[in-house]
Structure 1
Amino acid sequence: MPMFDIPDMRELLYKIAIVFGTIIVIYGVLWLLVNLGVIPAIIAAVFPQIVLIIIGLFIIYTAVERRNKYY
């Protein structure tokens, strides 16, 4: 059981890049909609808490997936 399998780390980095890229795009769209007055500013103010929840769920999902992969 290799601890640091390079393809496994590459897959994890791709998943992290996808999550952060998605968060950046969503934040950019929210910022644009707030500046245009389409949505209230409170929705954009709550977004960082939503991001923390998403990151936490991603960490839990990744940990469970890796545990199931090796055991």
Structure 2
Amino acid sequence: MVREVRVGVDDDVGISSGELAGVLGAGDSTIRNYFREMDLVESDNGRGGYFVPGYAISKAVEFVESTGGSK
């Protein structure tokens, strides 16, 4: 799932665990538990759910590249 976001314009930049569970075919509690362990993902209901904050984008890209996008 790709979501276009214009920084400073869209406050709803995140995705809920339920939405992501539907895309990945996993339970939403599994999504919540997994993201709780990741230091590069934040959760903020006011911003739409889970998201990668600007300061962690490079780390998130490195993570995806190092895992081959499998996690």
TM-score normalised by L of structure 1: 0.29
The structure that has the greater radius of gyration is: 1
Compare the two structures and name the one with the higher strand fraction. 2
What TM-score comes out, normalization by structure 2 length?
A: 0.29
